């Protein structure tokens, strides 16, 4: 899958603007995390990038320290006890993902695309069994493009639905991918952020159809 030619230039320009405008906020978040739970401030983890290449993703740490040593990563759920008080605010507003502006600037991510996955992530199924993300239908197709800071799944899907369902949203984005859709999704992301609704968002895909 070939990305639109303008997509990379758009990412570079917007990431530079974002880093400049948010610099003061980085300082406040840094102080708040240290006061509540100490160092480290940042959470660095290997993520799956374009064509399956691994890269170091950066986020502000929103979970308690011992989660950094977990061998297997489970998807966070609503009211997850591992999340700190500061972390709840960061996740609610998606501010914990601000450091990923650096990943976008260096070309490891895009502003819009499928969410970057953890290589060790597994999905718990209703039958009590677990399945690795590599084995979920749609995985191979979704890694043909750069992972994104936001996207159709990030904006429209509830946080705690299964990866199998989120992959369907990702494949829809890949099918419709263009610069105008990226701009719409970024604007919607800002709207959800300002309302503090990232943890409980129930927007419908029909809204996306109406914005065409």
> What does the pLDDT read at residue 113?
96
The answer to whether 136 and 168 are in contact (CB under 8 A) is: no
> What does the pLDDT read at residue 78?
58
Tens digits of residue pLDDT in 100-149 = 999 999 999 999 999 999 888 877 665 667 888 888 889 999 999 999 99
Which residues of the chain fall short of a pLDDT of 70?
A: 1, 67-79, 124-128, 195-212
> What does the pLDDT read at residue 92?
83
Dihedral, CA of residue 154, residue 14, residue 12 and residue 47, to nearest 10: -20
Which of 203, 171, 199, 200 minimizes the C-alpha distance to 187?
203
């Amino acid at each position: 899958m070939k990305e639109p030619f303008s997509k990379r230039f758009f990412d570079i320009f917007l990431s530079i603007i974002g880093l400049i405008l948010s610099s003061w906020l980085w300082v406040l978040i840094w102080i708040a995390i240290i006061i509540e739970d100490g160092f480290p401030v940042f959470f660095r983890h290997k993520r799956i990038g374009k064509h399956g290449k691994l890269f170091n993703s950066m986020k502000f740490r929103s979970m308690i320290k011992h989660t950094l040593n977990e061998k297997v990563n489970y998807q966070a759920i609503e009211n997850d006890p591992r999340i700190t008080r500061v972390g709840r605010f960061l996740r609610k507003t998606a501010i914990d993902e601000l450091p990923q502006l650096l990943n976008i600037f260096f070309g490891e991510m895009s502003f819009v695309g499928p969410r970057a996955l953890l290589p060790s992530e597994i999905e718990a199924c209703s039958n009590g069994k677990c399945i690795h993300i590599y084995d979920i239908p749609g995985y191979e197709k979704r890694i043909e493009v750069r992972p994104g800071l936001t996207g159709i799944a990030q904006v429209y899907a509830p946080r705690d639905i299964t990866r199998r369902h989120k992959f369907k949203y990702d494949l829809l984005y890949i099918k419709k991918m263009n610069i105008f859709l990226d701009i719409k999704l970024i604007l919607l992301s800002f709207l959800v952020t300002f309302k503090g609704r990232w943890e409980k968002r129930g927007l419908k895909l029909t809204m996306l159809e109406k914005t065409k």
